[in-house]
Structure 1
Amino acid sequence: MLIIVLSTLIFQHQQMTLIGISSERIETIWNRWEVRVLVLLSLFLQIVLIVLGKRRKYIPKNWIRIFLWVAYLSADWIATVSLGVLSRKEGAKKTQSYEPDYVIMAFWAPFLLVHLGGPDTITAYSLEDNELWPRRLVELVVQLIVALYVLSRSWVYTKVNFLAIPMLIAGIIKIGERIWVLRTASNDVFRDSMLPRPDPGPNYAKFMDGYDAKKAEGFKISVGTIIDTSTVVRHDNFPDALHEASYFFRAFKPLFADLILSFQDRENSRSFFQQKETGEKAFEVIEIELGFMYDLLLTKAGLIHSWLGSICRFVSLLCTISTLIAFLIIDRNDYSNIDTSVTFLLLFGAIVLENYAVIVLLSSDWTELWRSKQKKPLVDLISKANSCFQSCFGSCKLLPLNKRWSESVGQYNLMSHCIKCKSFKGSRTKKYIDEKLEKYWYRNLEPVHDEDEGLKEKIFVQLKVASSISDISVSEQLFAYTGNDDVTKEYFRNLAGSMEENFDETILRWHIATDLCHYSEKGNSQNVKNLIRISKLLSNYLVFLLVMHPYMLPSGIGQIRFQDTCAEAIEIIEEREYISDEKKACEVLFKVNTEIPPSQIKGDRSKSVLFDACIVAQSLQFLETQQKWERISEVWVGMLSYAASQCSWNYHARRLSQGGELLTHVWLLMAHLGITKHFQISRGHERAKLFLS
């Protein structure tokens, strides 16, 4: 027994010894490779950010958002940790003698500053990052001090020490660019830059002095108004949509600072867009404008496309290239092959990233706009270079696509959701997982088609009609009926009123009614099929916003109404086992007798609108098929437009970095057509004048 115990103790001691040796070996290896791994990881994260940064503009998928979010947070953290490790190693030196390992590792510190400056395509992950620019300033200044500390402790007047100076200049430029862009895009600074000059208006005291003087002289005086045509700004003829968007972007930027626009902007924009031939052309201008805004708020485009930014970019690239050439020339025998290879990777990586940024820059709308205004041989050279880069890198998907947004809308169908919930009956775990996945991961995207008589054309035509009506509320303007049918006119007027009071209820009621009408149809003409497609697309899109992004819709109890309506629908579906798809569910609901109002039986405890929707659908059956779907599509375009007008500007701006939203495009188009609360100066062109008699 004793022998067994001793044998066990000896075996355990040997195991502990091996574990101790192994852990010491691992710690030694990690201490040796720690800095090398961290700086290379920092370079890799910069590659990820610059390659994917612009792609999130037109890819609304969750994977790119999560990947970029992790890379964005990790990039700064890895660079900061690397500088901390370098400073610790330098602080641990016991002598000031020449140590090649420390010298070349200290040379990597400026590269980490360049990484902290961030790539051009993603300065801020979200708008909230712009608001935190003072914190970022303090952090980057501290990191700059740490880098200077690392360089000073390893300074022994070697050639590598002197090569760190140009890279330090490049790092400082990159950090300065990032802070400047973050500060410029912050809410307060951006708003202040949009404020117009103070306007005291006509001199009231001087006017009244003249009035009193003429009255004392015995004149009969009347006060009238004249039109001051000198203040009216007229736009020129534009060669293409890019120049149109550039002109109106400068005028409508205050919308993203929640400021009002001038009457000149309103009259110019409304007259211009009223003359647009198709909705596709109008939406193209809007897309380019929103692309400009995305670049200003979330990238370095605003600085890069200025003379100061061009000079900074040239200096930083020149510093990096000169450092690489010098490092190739100097004697590197004192340094290990591993450290030399890491240094070359950092130098080549910095140059490749800079050149990649230039290539992306050349293919942007900003550069295209600049080229169109120049008449020099250099412009032709840039155009040829851009075409060459596009052909070389475009085929292998290294360059981002020339897209301004995802050109798709999210879809969420209530009946489909209820059918799914039925399939998980009896398994609470599966049902819980399905609900969570559907809430946070479920995305069904449908493209916004550009066909004739398509969605964009329908929206544009209806908004043009609404813009011709004034002096009423936005909801009444959107649902104004210009025909001679008094019954229809009263119907839309009541719908506008109910929408203002309970917008979420109106969405769900018409969403279910649209499904019921859709599944009750048999064969239809192509025109009716287009109207059905538009109605279904907008119906599912607004429910998608209600469930996934309720902050973009007018405030209400949409979540409660949705879950109560789903609960009632699921109850009916589970009672009838033969219901297996949406069509059968809609057929059952359509046959329910709704002679007695649901509120009379159910009271107001439940906020379900399931059978209220059935009443709406049944009332629509009295209309002719073409007329019915014209009304339904008009209702959905009106609700989409009303939701767009009520959504705050910062929520519109937030969605620009997540593939964009059709709601945002409609919001800006409405502003261009004058359907917005941001026009509060209606008679700025009128001036008072004394008339004597």
Structure 2
Amino acid sequence: MRARSLSELLSSSSDVRKEWELRGVVFLSLALQIALICLGSCRKYLPHAWIQGFTWFAYLLADSVAIYGLGMISNTIREIKAGKLSSNPHTELSTFWAPFLLLHLGGPDTISAYAIEDNELWLRHLLTLVNQAGLTVYVLVMAWTHPTLSFLAILILLLGFYKYGERVWVLRAASDEYFKDSLPESQPRRKDSDKIEAECVLKGEEGYNVTSHQVIDVNNEDAIMIDDATAEFPSEKLSCGKDVEDQEYKCVVGTLLSASHLVHTSQRLFADQLFSIEERDSRLTILSGKHCVGDFKVIEMELGLIYDMFYSKANAVYTRWGFICRLAIFFLICVALVLFSFTDKRPYSKPDLFLTFLLLGAAIFVELYALAHVLFSDQVACWLIKKKQSAIFCSINRIKPLLKRRRWSNSMCQYNLMSLKNNYSRWWRFLKLLHVDEMAVKFLYQGHVDVSKDIKDLIVSKIKEKEAVDVQDLPFTKIDRGYCVLSAHGLLDQLEWSIEKLDFDTSILVWHIATELCYYLSDEPHSTRELERNDQSPHKKKCLMGLHMSRYMLYLQFMCPSMLPARIGGFRFRDIYKKPSERFRWPKARDEMKDLSNRSVSEEDKVNYVLSKGCQVALVLGGVSRWWRWTVISEVWVEMLIHAAGKGKARDHARHMRGGGELITHVWFLMAHYGLTDHFPKPHPRATAEIIVNPW
């Protein structure tokens, strides 16, 4: 008798443990969905490592937890049917949770893929959909007892099946193969010059004296179309608020229309498709439209739209059918909540009821958040502009101004070899024992600064200079890495070797060391924060530009090497990160720099070689006035960035968009608009042929 009581006690204890385990799993799945819908949208403009790490953790864990919860519920049903367990109110209500777990597998609208590679796993998700949907149907059929709960469970099951199927479709559409197949090929307009050339040959064969003539052809139909659409869109101050100026309002509309028009062809860059010269000219005329607020703002909007294609459910949501389905899902979940509220709840425990209401309430919150996300999106704003819905557009723009919406981090990661210090603590020795000290150094000494307007303006001016040279069909290879800058300032004879004879990664290290030495050995404040707090004179702005660009290029070299040109036998981080901070001991660094620059160091000793060459560059720059010194440094770094951006691959740029975006991606995208990437044939001066046929 005593043994039997003990057995019953243990069985009861086991049942209670399983009940709370299932509640915990379902609650964890719900919490992960809430985290994903919030972090999925903000991770594209917040570059913090903890946000990326937590999003990655939640994304990987969410599917596993939901599948595990479904497995627990199905195992309970099997044990009941086998007679090992008896049915109880908890089991009855837990079967109602199964469709919610399938709904969780569908994921939020703000994140469909964590990394670009996740889109290639759409077939695996399709198999998971079939498996888990079948398992949920099995649970509902085998546990069909309560009519109202079973009806509501079928309703949630259909919603979950649709949401997960939508996720599979979105992943498939963003996969490399299907994304390329969905894009149209370049369709260059037929040139009239071809017809004229053929006619010229025929007239010549007939004996006519043919004279060639050249007429400049300016093709700007697209820009005119956007400007006309902007002018036609109602812009009365009463509709947008008395504090909004008419010109400012038109700039908002024109910029968004430009980005929306360009993105239809810009997405082909990520499929490595070729563009025609006519398409290049059309893009340039749009960028130069009178209602655009700037090249970088248009690029920012375009990349924001492309980010949504790769990492969210934009392809399914921003359609008429998608919006209707969102409204229907929200309405049906509200109906389920109301109907469940009127059921008899006396048999169920308070924890089970609390969790059930929480699941229904959270599902409504997720759909409301998704609808708000759609309402404040660039896609909807563009649709309202095209449909001339000025009142709705202005109301939304007043709540969340279009030009102030964050679409990327607008920041540059910073890395400085001079600031690294050795740490001999026990914790550091433990990390070194695990061979993760190098990784720890990379993340602990990494910083962020905003991309200033001065840097953007300098980048745009350099790209336009390069485009002007390119259109004239002149060689421009040397402009890539600072040749023209050094030539313009009379430093070519002394420093040409630092950009022409060195590999690109070596050149980055040499100029980074030189930049840091010029900064620390000058009379500038030794803290960039102190420099930023001081009066922002043009000289100090140049100094900050040079420092920030130097540290950003070093960050790319060691943290994002795939975004830089391919290198052979490049520097390893573990070989270089300790030496500069050990070598230079402030304030005696000036004497050490002169001593090191005079040494003859072989190229085999890579670390001391770059230190020596960096000191040589610093000594040359130290002989120039402060204004010209930092002008040279900042412009050389910008040209290095442009050179690196032109050599990057579209896949690498798409991959790094998930972490807040990189400045080099925006530079690459802007260069593509100016026809300076490999996606365009060699341009020639824009002209139309014309012939004059003389009858004599």
The match for 1:652 is 653
Q: Report deviation, 1:659.
A: 1.6
Answer yes or no: is the 8 Å Cα contact 1:535–1:633 preserved in 2. yes
Answer yes or no: is the 8 Å Cα contact 2:275–2:679 preserved in 1. yes
The match for 1:398 is none
CA gap 1:170/1:26 in 2 versus in 1, 3 angstroms: same
Alignment of 1:594-613 (within 5 A): 594-595=597-598, 597-599=600-602, 608-613=609-614
CA RMSD of aligned residues (A): 4.1
2:334 is equivalent to residue 321 of structure 1? yes
Q: Report deviation, 1:120.
A: 0.9
2:111 is equivalent to residue 122 of structure 1? yes
Answer yes or no: is the 8 Å Cα contact 1:263–1:679 preserved in 2. yes
Q: Report deviation, 1:449.
A: 5.2
1:236-257 Cα distance to aligned partner (Å, 9 max, x none): 3253232232222223111122
CA gap 1:379/1:571 in 2 versus in 1, 3 angstroms: closer
> Which of 45, 50, 58 is the matching residue for 2:32?
45
In structure 2, distance between residues paired with 1:45 and 1:506: 45
The match for 1:661 is 662
Whichever residue aligns with residue 165 of structure 1, its letter is: I
1:52-110 Cα distance to aligned partner (Å, 9 max, x none): 21121122222112211121111111111111122222222338998654443222222
The match for 2:160 is 171
The match for 1:8 is none
CA gap 1:435/1:215 in 2 versus in 1, 3 angstroms: same
Alignment of 1:332-481 (within 5 A): 332-376=345-389, 379=392, 383=396, 387=399, 402-417=405-420, 420-421=421-422, 428-429=429-430, 435-436=437-438, 438-448=440-450, 450=452, 454-470=454-470, 471-472=473-474, 475-478=477-480, 479=482, 481=484
In structure 1, distance between residues paired with 2:202 and 2:13: 97
2:71 is equivalent to residue 84 of structure 1? yes
2:314 is equivalent to residue 301 of structure 1? yes
Q: Give 3-state SS (helix, strand or coil) of 1:609's partner.
A: helix
1:537-584 Cα distance to aligned partner (Å, 9 max, x none): 1111111121222222122257536544446546645xxxxx3xxx43
Alignment of 1:176-575 (within 5 A): 176-196=165-185, 233-235=222-224, 236-237=226-227, 239=250, 240=252, 241-273=255-287, 281-376=294-389, 379=392, 383=396, 387=399, 402-417=405-420, 420-421=421-422, 428-429=429-430, 435-436=437-438, 438-448=440-450, 450=452, 454-470=454-470, 471-472=473-474, 475-478=477-480, 479=482, 481=484, 487-488=490-491, 497-498=500-501, 502-522=503-523, 526-556=537-567, 560=571, 563-566=574-577, 568-569=579-580, 572=583
Q: Give 3-state SS (helix, strand or coil) of 1:665's partner.
A: helix
Q: Give 3-state SS (helix, strand or coil) of 2:407's partner.
A: coil
CA gap 1:629/1:152 in 2 versus in 1, 3 angstroms: same
The match for 2:94 is 105
Alignment of 1:672-683 (within 5 A): 672-680=673-681, 682=683
CA gap 1:357/1:665 in 2 versus in 1, 3 angstroms: same
Q: Report deviation, 1:51.
A: 1.5
In structure 1, distance between residues paired with 2:5 and 2:554: 62
Answer yes or no: is the 8 Å Cα contact 2:601–2:609 preserved in 1. no
The worse-fitting range, judged by mean Cα deviation, of 420-429 and 668-677 is 420-429
Answer yes or no: is the 8 Å Cα contact 2:222–2:286 preserved in 1. no
The match for 2:44 is 57
Structure 1 portions without partners, runs of 5+:
1-13, 392-400, 574-578
Answer yes or no: is the 8 Å Cα contact 1:405–1:659 preserved in 2. yes
CA gap 1:567/1:275 in 2 versus in 1, 3 angstroms: same
Whichever residue aligns with residue 563 of structure 2, its letter is: M
CA gap 1:646/1:23 in 2 versus in 1, 3 angstroms: farther
Q: Give 3-state SS (helix, strand or coil) of 2:294's partner.
A: helix
Q: Report deviation, 1:178.
A: 0.6
Answer yes or no: is the 8 Å Cα contact 1:481–1:492 preserved in 2. no
In structure 2, distance between residues paired with 1:276 and 1:425: 62
In structure 2, distance between residues paired with 1:275 and 1:474: 27
Whichever residue aligns with residue 44 of structure 1, its letter is: A
Whichever residue aligns with residue 20 of structure 2, its letter is: W
Answer yes or no: is the 8 Å Cα contact 1:39–1:82 preserved in 2. yes
The worse-fitting range, judged by mean Cα deviation, of 253-262 and 305-314 is 253-262
In structure 1, distance between residues paired with 2:601 and 2:486: 33
Whichever residue aligns with residue 410 of structure 2, its letter is: E
In structure 2, distance between residues paired with 1:686 and 1:190: 35
CA gap 1:225/1:195 in 2 versus in 1, 3 angstroms: farther
In structure 2, distance between residues paired with 1:209 and 1:662: 47
Q: Report deviation, 1:175.
A: 1.1
Answer yes or no: is the 8 Å Cα contact 1:101–1:335 preserved in 2. yes
Whichever residue aligns with residue 537 of structure 2, its letter is: Q
Q: Give 3-state SS (helix, strand or coil) of 2:523's partner.
A: coil
Q: Report deviation, 1:224.
A: 9.1
CA gap 1:20/1:73 in 2 versus in 1, 3 angstroms: farther
Q: Report deviation, 1:635.
A: 0.7
Answer yes or no: is the 8 Å Cα contact 2:33–2:108 preserved in 1. yes
The match for 2:624 is 623
In structure 2, distance between residues paired with 1:425 and 1:475: 50
Structure 2 portions without partners, runs of 5+:
231-249, 526-535
Q: Report deviation, 1:679.
A: 1.4
The worse-fitting range, judged by mean Cα deviation, of 242-251 and 38-47 is 242-251
* Total equivalences in the alignment: 650
Answer yes or no: is the 8 Å Cα contact 2:186–2:274 preserved in 1. no
Answer yes or no: is the 8 Å Cα contact 1:113–1:175 preserved in 2. yes
CA gap 1:427/1:315 in 2 versus in 1, 3 angstroms: closer
TM-score normalized by structure 2? Answer: 0.82
Whichever residue aligns with residue 39 of structure 1, its letter is: V
TM-score normalized by structure 1? Answer: 0.82
CA gap 1:200/1:673 in 2 versus in 1, 3 angstroms: closer
Q: Give 3-state SS (helix, strand or coil) of 2:412's partner.
A: strand
In structure 2, distance between residues paired with 1:228 and 1:249: 25
Answer yes or no: is the 8 Å Cα contact 2:260–2:302 preserved in 1. yes
In structure 2, distance between residues paired with 1:20 and 1:521: 82
Whichever residue aligns with residue 594 of structure 2, its letter is: K
In structure 2, distance between residues paired with 1:444 and 1:326: 53
In structure 2, distance between residues paired with 1:214 and 1:572: 77
Q: Report deviation, 1:309.
A: 0.9
